[in-house]
Structure 1
Amino acid sequence: MQTLGWTLFDTAIGACAVAWGEGGITGAQLPQVHATGTRSRMRHRFPGVAEGSPPPEVAALIDAVQALLRGEPRDLSATRLDFDGVPAFHRRVYELALTIPPGRVLSYGEIAQRLGDPGAARAVGQALGANPFAPIVPCHRVLAAGGRAGGFSAHGGAETKLKMLAIEGARPDDQPSLF
């Protein structure tokens, strides 16, 4: 996976970032406390890669992410992601998570079942915790059993996850399976 560039962009929840290469999106980053923190995370994840202006395909993705985080339904499932270096199980989890529409949720266990491995809920959670493409791969739309938020590795933890779900109009507390 060769990253050619990355850029920071403002959203309703803070400064996000996205990195790209010839094979598609190589990474994305949810906001840190300040834009400088997000920029620092990208420099650490993609050492030696310059911040720059995104090509048209990436600029269109940025527009879609900004709209999604304003509460406008957007389908990001057709985004070209560069899965080079992503473990096979993680890739399967991410591909399934991409099918969850805005405003809907699945549980870690439901994803494990759909992958044909009902005992893998914890492994699904670990894969989503390592998601290099958030919010493009919508790990925030995956909940613990009983509609509980579960973990979330982005800054702000479960609070950020619940905020993103609220922006999308999801109500995880009273809808255990919406997909």
Structure 2
Amino acid sequence: MTNPETPTRAVAWTVADTAVGPLLLAATEKGLVHVVFRADEATTGAALERLASRLGATPEHLPGGPAGDRLREAVTQVDAYFRGDLREFTLELDWSLSAGFNRRVLRELAGGVPFGSVVGYQDLANRVGEPGAARAVGVAMGSNPLPVVPCHRVLESDGGIGGFGGGLRMLDIKRSLLAREGVLPEPLF
């Protein structure tokens, strides 16, 4: 039962087809709140259940209102990025799904590592004032609820590609995004 003194939170969602496969995009009235790669039916269902639990609202598919408006803008910008017409997202973001150190790291990444550039885990830890936290930066990247915040731009100090949220099965997406931004060559096949 909902407490009448607690405002309900609108959550809008859709799945967008992209060059790296289907993306689940979810937004609140504050902004884009969650993006999930490889959003097949099972992945989407599980992600929406977790989102409802964490935000206390049942996500609605493409509703009107402020959450729907934020979602439509996110879809427009994601489409433009994958067409090659957009280099920097200008979306309002709802940081509700990250906190503390992870949020600090993600905000630094969002504002400090532009399209076509990369940063090391250690450098990112240094930037947020936590020089001993390179591994924790990796954890923050792996749990990034908003991969429009470019966690694919974070590499190992030796130049290795490092990990990507979702584990090894997602490295092809990281490589594809880095190639799209000119950091890696396009795959031959």
Q: Secondary structure at the match of 2:104?
A: helix
Which position in structure 1 is the counterpart of 2:17?
10
Structure 2 spans left out of the alignment, 5+ residues: 1-7, 53-57
Displacement after TM superposition at 1:97 (Å): 1.1
Aligned equivalents of 1:106 and 1:7: distance in 2?
A: 31
Which position in structure 1 is the counterpart of 2:102?
90
Give the 3 Å change call, closer, same or farther, for CA 169–72 of structure 1 in structure 2. farther
> Mean alpha-carbon deviation: is it higher for 60-69 or for 8-17?
60-69
Deviations 1:17-41 (A, max 9, x none): 2111122222111224xx3244234
Q: Secondary structure at the match of 2:22?
A: strand
Give the ranges of 4+ consecutive aligned residues of structure 1 lying more than 4 Å apart after TM superposition. Answer: none
Aligned equivalents of 1:140 and 1:69: distance in 2?
A: 15
Displacement after TM superposition at 1:53 (Å): 4.5
Deviations 1:118-164 (A, max 9, x none): 11110111011100011x11111111111111111247322221111
TM-score, normalisation: structure 1: 0.82
Aligned equivalents of 1:19 and 1:88: distance in 2?
A: 22
Displacement after TM superposition at 1:64 (Å): 1.4
Query: Which of 140, 144, 147 is the equivalent residue of 1:127?
Result: 140
Q: Percentage identity across aligned positions?
A: 35
Which position in structure 1 is the counterpart of 2:87?
74
Deviations 1:20-78 (A, max 9, x none): 1122222111224xx324423432333432222473333222121122233344211x4
8 Å contact kept, 1:154–1:160:
no
Query: Which of 39, 59, 63 is the equivalent residue of 2:44?
Result: 39
The one-letter code matched in structure 1 to 2:138 is G
Give the 3 Å change call, closer, same or farther, for CA 41–103 of structure 1 in structure 2. farther
Which position in structure 1 is the counterpart of 2:3?
none
Query: Which of 104, 108, 114 is the equivalent residue of 2:117?
Result: 104
Cα RMSD between the aligned structures?
A: 2.2
8 Å contact kept, 2:27–2:70:
no
Which position in structure 2 is the counterpart of 1:176?
none
The one-letter code matched in structure 2 to 1:50 is E
8 Å contact kept, 1:73–1:168:
no
Aligned equivalents of 2:34 and 2:139: distance in 1?
A: 17
Length, aligned pairs only: 168
TM-score, normalisation: structure 2: 0.78
Q: Secondary structure at the match of 2:92?
A: coil
Which position in structure 2 is the counterpart of 1:52?
62
8 Å contact kept, 2:175–2:184:
no
Greater RCO (CA < 8 Å, at least 6 residues apart): 1
Aligned equivalents of 1:98 and 1:53: distance in 2?
A: 28
> Mean alpha-carbon deviation: is it higher for 90-99 or for 59-68?
59-68
Displacement after TM superposition at 1:113 (Å): 0.9
Larger radius of gyration: 2
